[in-house]
Amino acid sequence: MSDYEQFETIAIRIQSPRSENREHSVPIYLTSSFVFENAEQARALFNDEITGNIYSRFSNPNNDEFVQKICAMEKAEDGIATASGMSAVFTSMAALLKSGDHILVSRSVFGSTHQILTMLFPKWNIDFTYVDINQPEKWEKAIKKNTKMIFVETPSNPALDIIDLEWLGKLAEKYNLLLNVDNCFCTPYLQTPMQYGADLVIHSATKYIDGQGRVIGGVIVGRKDLMKDIRFFARHTGPALSPFNGWILSKSLETLSIRMERHCENAYKLASFLENHPEIEKVKYPFLPSHPQYEIAKKQMKLGGGILTFIVKGGYERGKNFLNHLEMFSHSANLGDTRTIATHPSSTTHSKLSEAEKQAVGIEPGMIRISVGLEHIEDIIKEIETALNKSASLV
């Protein structure tokens, strides 16, 4: 754990030891393996008697620096870096579950997480139950004798539903369940689930942690005893983060707080504008009082985040026309970039869900997800308003 207490200082000053070259910025350790000083050191390293680098699939100075920062930010005891956000999701579950186990899951989860639960885990006799994130009274009733883990996204993707982490942490403790929280949308700058009782926190570092759409990566942090099993699983299944990506992500953390402040400021202003727009049926943003879990969001999130959703009047066809009339925004499935991104979840990120499943998690045919970037807010609003006006004439 770092001696630094303030988020911004942690992000900048946690650093791998300097080499004999006295570099100011940490070098990139693009090496597949590391040499041993002698046979005894090699033996001790392989028997976990001492710490050190052996092979970049196991550990690497760039990835270690990145993980140390996230651990300090999330107040976690230990962690590992992974090749992607989805490898973090899968590894955090598969390393701790066995045949016959059951997972309790918030209904609104990312599409690939849904595929793991519905298509892959059944092959290994691992069962799950979806529970609505906005119906806490149903969670305790859904716990079974073989339930091992609770997995949630909060805010969820893309519905932006929010669950009370303090309440959920107490529920997990009551039944001795592992609480695994996907904190991707918030980053540790806006929300720290471990302070509410989470045992594990995962991130798709591809999103806000990188923040510029350059690299893919993931990270898992949490209790040291759990991370021991997760590290063993990852070491022998190979979801290792590239050292170059680890270097990028660690450097990106240095500006995370500044970027998130602007993302949130722009998103709040855009959401407020859209809430009163005559061509919009509904806007959802955690820090708008109209959000169903507004009070919870204010309690556990520092700011409202950089993601909002809205439903255009005219359904799917209007939504498609709206996207086709965007000029400045990026039409992409990614999020968390400096550039504003528009996504149609129903036909892209969550297209594998049935229509009933989409309805159950609040994905309407005309829903647009906006990852609000760092452009000037007046240009962002102008882009939205122009596309709304042009698409209205085609309905």
pLDDT per residue as tens digits for the range 366-380: 899 999 999 999 999
DSSP element (H, E) containing 202: strand 200-204
CA distances 37 to 58, 164, 167, 172, Å, are 18, 51, 51, 46
Q: What is the pLDDT of residue 191?
A: 98
Residue 124 has pLDDT above 90, yes or no: yes
Query: Is residue 209 within 8 Å of 81, Cβ to Cβ?
Result: no
Residue 147 C-alpha from the chain's centroid:
24
Q: How far apart are CA 152 and CA 301, in angstroms?
A: 15
- Residue 253 is predicted with a pLDDT of 98
Structural domains of the chain sorted by starting position, each given as residue range(s) with its CATH number in brackets = 7-255 (3.40.640.10), 257-392 (3.90.1150.10)
Residue 349: its pLDDT value, please?
66
**pLDDT at 318 (0 to 100):** 85
Per-residue confidence (pLDDT) for residue 350, from 0 to 100: 64
Q: What angle do CA 377, 254, 31 make, to 5 degrees?
A: 130
Q: What is the pLDDT of residues 342-352, one digit of tens each?
A: 988 877 666 66
Q: Which among 217, 190, 189 has a CA at the least distance from the CA of 203?
A: 217
Per DSSP, the residues of 42-78 read HHHHHTTSS---SBTTT--HHHHHHHHHHHHHHT-SE
pLDDT band at 1 (very low <50, low <70, confident <90, very high): low
pLDDT tens-digit readout, 66-108: 999 999 999 999 999 999 999 999 999 999 999 999 999 998 8
β-partners of residue 280 are 312
Quote the distance between the C-alpha of residue 167 and its chain's center: 21
Strands 330-331 and 341-343: parallel
- The answer, yes or no, to whether residue 220 has pLDDT greater than 60, is yes
Is the Cα torsion angle 83, 89, 90, 95 positive or negative in sign?
positive
In this model, does residue 224 exceed pLDDT 60?
yes
> Phi first, then psi: what are they for 369, rounded to 5°?
-100, 130
Q: Which two structure tokens, joined as six digits, stand for 9?
A: 């200082």
Q: How confident is the model at residue 4 (pLDDT cuts 50, 70, 90)?
A: confident
Give residue-wise pLDDT tens across range 255-293.
999 999 999 999 999 999 999 999 999 999 999 999 999
More confident residue, 223 or 110: 223
pLDDT per residue over 105-123, tens digit each?
998 888 899 899 999 999 9
Please report which confidence band the pLDDT of residue 137 belongs to, taking 50, 70 and 90 as the band edges: confident
Q: What is the per-residue pLDDT across 284-320, written as a single tens digit (0 to 9) for each? A: 999 999 999 999 999 999 999 999 999 999 888 888 8
> pLDDT-derived band of residue 136, with 50, 70 and 90 as boundaries?
confident
Residue 395 is predicted with a pLDDT of 54
> Which residues does 12 contact at the CB level (< 8 Å), separation at least 6?
254
Do you know the residue count of the chain?
A: 395
Predicted pLDDT at 394: 60
Give pLDDT tens digits for 142-174. 999 999 999 999 999 888 999 999 999 999 999
Look over the chain and give the mean of its residue pLDDT values, rounded to a whole number: 94
Residues 227-235, mean pLDDT to the nearest whole number? 97
**pLDDT tens digits, one per residue of 171-185:** 999 999 999 999 999
For β-strands 178-182 and 78-82, DSSP reports them as unpaired
Q: Residue 197: helix, strand or coil by DSSP?
A: coil
Q: Which of 163, 160, 118 is nearest to 138 (CA)?
A: 163
Tokens of 266: 């722009």
**Would you state the pLDDT for residue 61?**
96
For position 183, what pLDDT does the model report? 98
